[in-house]
Chains A and B, each alone.
Chain A
Amino acid sequence: MNKRLSSFFVYTLLTLGALAMVFPFVWMILTSLKSFQELFELRWLPREPTLENYREVLFGTQFPRWFLNSLVVASLTTVSVLFFDSLVGYTLAKLRFPGKNLIFVTILATLMVPTEMLIIPWYVMSVDYGWVNTFWGILFPGLLSAFGVFLMRQFFESLPSDLLDAGRIDGLSEFGVFWRVAFPLVRPALAALGIFTFLGNWNAFLWPLVIIQTPEMRTLPVGVALFSGEAGTAWHLIMAASSLAVIPVLIVFFIFQRQIIEGVVLTGVKG
């Protein structure tokens, strides 16, 4: 095929595909700027764009609280995953001790158990211990991730052991070697794992839906889902709420997209 013609095809197809990817976001935002009356006129652009829907969602519902809840849950789980997963990854990669392989295989094996299977025992457990409808109840299943352990172990394995020995000779304790020498050296991996963990917990739906009972404990996805249910056909409000849930995620994504995409590549292709 003619070279110019084929590159014309490539760009046309890619642009069409990209439009299909972007359009739902554009439509969501356009709808969120329309008044209730305009909603059903099937007009492409809002005649009189208004931020009234956003005002109503932000000040007339518990949306800010849900946003905050998600922020708390996602931040705490991310901090915990980054610390413990790298500690375990470091230990499995760089220390020698009996039972090492057994422990690694055991942790990896947990990846095969579907969340659905664990949710029922977690729920029974949460009822017994009074964790239902608490922050602890929402976040405890996500405090560590087997996938993260696997990822961090890969990274620590590539660190030269001489560096760690140098730290030991300087008189650092084993924890000091991990925290002061090894941990700062795997920053790219931490960035990828951190963003993934944050987004995963920010977007989580099934477990929070099970464990949350009152409107003020809802996380953002649960809030949006149940709010939409309660609001019935108030699409202008639903689209404003969805925009408020989606836009921060997209901003974070476009800032960190290199790390995020590298994280996917790392796990999928080299793993």
Chain B
Amino acid sequence: MKRFQLSLAAREALWAYTFLLIPLAFFLFIRIWPAFQALWLSLYDWNADPSKRVFVGLEHYAQMAQDPLLARSLRNTLLYTLIGVPAQLVLGLGIALLLNAVTRERLRDVFRAIYFAPYVTPAVAVAWVFSWMLSANFGVVNELLRLLGLPAQDFLRNPSLALPTVTAVVVWQNLGFQVVLFLAGLQNIPRDYYEAARIDGADDWRLFRHITLPLLNPVMVFSAVIGTIGFLQLFTQVVNLSFTDQGGPLHSTLTVALYIYQQAFGRFDLGYAAAITVLLFGIILLITLVQLRLLSRRVEY
């Protein structure tokens, strides 16, 4: 009897390994091995011709410390995140709270779908539509400003306006995602909590402060982390919002991802670009670990 069971277990394991064969090969060779390869590449001055590859050790990392454009792109990326993530969270939560107050379910679904639609549209097309709308002379946004009696702005060519403008476009596109998450989070909160607190005489603000916010904490952490990682990898919108001056004007919208792309495929400095990706990986790893810490922390009521 024992032998029969063992062979059943062995059969099950055999099936499992057969099923996993191709997928595991994929994850090993397409996802994991290249990550290590990037580490290794970052130690070389890469050349397509193997005989011209030079091992440079940590030189690229030393170079990174003295690269003003990399510093600029890191600072910009930090700015994008500092402006964009809070804006997304506040607007997303605000709209979700409004939607949650809509009692007619059909209407709520319609609004939710409208807010979500930009999230699924190609970022390239979104970027081009906005760069048309934001153009200095023929843009409809400036036409609206004129109707309101405000001065026209060259949103994408003014170095101090370009980064906030790109951020706004990204927030516009991602907002629906946050709205949907927050709305689901809100609907997961049991109504009894509110009713009990009401009986105890709590007002709207206290309900929000002591029930809604703490119970939404896991959703907030998730949204913030997803948002941060999204801004850290910002590329498509920056490239397409000012196609002739990518990352401009005066590098004011340059992101780390775009800088990596320019180093790797503009200058074909693959080794240096790989070193920057290692840095980016380090940052994302750190954020993910912080997320895990925050999410595993118990919510206190």
Contacts and interface: CB of A to CB of B under 8 A. Distances in A.
Contact of A269 (B34, B113, B185, B229): B185
B111 A269 contact: no
B212 interface: no
B45 interface: no
B37 A121 contact: yes
B222 interface: yes
Contact of B265 (A202, A210, A224): A210
Contact of B41 (A39, A115, A120, A265): A120
Contacts of A118: 30-31, 34-35, 38
A95 B15 contact: yes
A39 B135 CA distance: 12
B108 to A, nearest CB: 9
Contacts of B19: 87-88, 90-91, 95, 174-175, 178
Contacts of B15: 91, 95, 174-175
A114 B281 contact: yes
A20 B30 CA distance: 41
B111 A18 contact: yes
A117 B280 contact: yes
Contacts of B99: 14
A116 interface: yes
A40 B123 CA distance: 25
A239 B280 contact: no
Given A87-B23, A238-B132, A261 B120 contact: no
A270 B236 CA distance: 29
Interface in B100-145: 101-102, 111-118, 120-126, 128-130, 132-133, 137-138, 140, 143
Find the residue from B23, B188, B232 having the highest chain A CB count within 10 A. B23
A98 B38 CA distance: 31
B162 interface: no
Tell me if B's interface is mostly helix, strand, loop or mixed: helix
Contacts of A18: 111, 114-115
A242 B124 CA distance: 8
B233 A96 contact: no
Contacts of A174: 11-12, 15, 19
A140 B34 CA distance: 13
What does DSSP make chain A's interface, helix, strand, loop or mixed?
helix
A112 B22 contact: no
Nearest to B146: A42
A28 B24 CA distance: 44
Most buried by A among B46, B229, B243: B243
Interface string A79-118: 0000011011011000111101001001101101111111
A123 B264 contact: yes
B129 A28 contact: yes
Contacts of B122: 202-203, 205, 220-221, 224, 245-246, 249
A17, A175, A252: most-surrounded residue (chain B CB, <10 A) = A17
Contacts of A120: 38, 41, 264, 270, 273-274, 277
A81 B282 CA distance: 28
B177 interface: yes
A97 B117 CA distance: 43
A28 B122 CA distance: 14
A119 B264 contact: yes
Contacts of A13: 98
Nearest to B284: A114
Contacts of B264: 119-120, 123
Interface string B6-34: 00010111011101101110110011111
B243 A225 contact: yes
Interface stretch (A53-61, A141-149, A153-161): A141-149
A63 B16 CA distance: 44
B32 A257 contact: no
Given A21-B118, A268-B184, A245 B129 contact: no
A171 interface: no
B240 interface: yes
A261 B116 contact: yes
A24 B24 contact: no
Given A17-B115, A229-B243, 5 more contacts: A6-B101, A42-B138, A91-B16, A117-B35, A121-B34
21 contacts: A14-B99, A21-B115, A28-B125, A84-B26, A96-B9, A110-B35, A116-B261, A117-B35, A118-B31, A119-B277, A120-B41, A121-B38, A123-B270, A144-B23, A205-B124, A206-B235, A224-B124, A228-B128, A235-B138, A239-B132, A246-B121
Interface of A: 6-7, 10-11, 13-14, 17-18, 20-22, 24-25, 27-28, 31, 39-40, 42, 84-85, 87-88, 90-91, 95-98, 100, 103, 106-107, 109-110, 112-125, 127, 140-141, 143-144, 146, 149, 174-175, 178, 199, 202-203, 205-206, 210, 220-222, 224-225, 228-229, 235, 238-239, 242, 245-246, 249-250, 252-254, 257, 260-261, 264-265, 268-269
The 9 A-B residue pairs with the shortest CB-CB distance, nearest first, are A121-B34, A97-B13, A117-B277, A174-B15, A97-B16, A121-B37, A242-B125, A265-B184, A110-B31
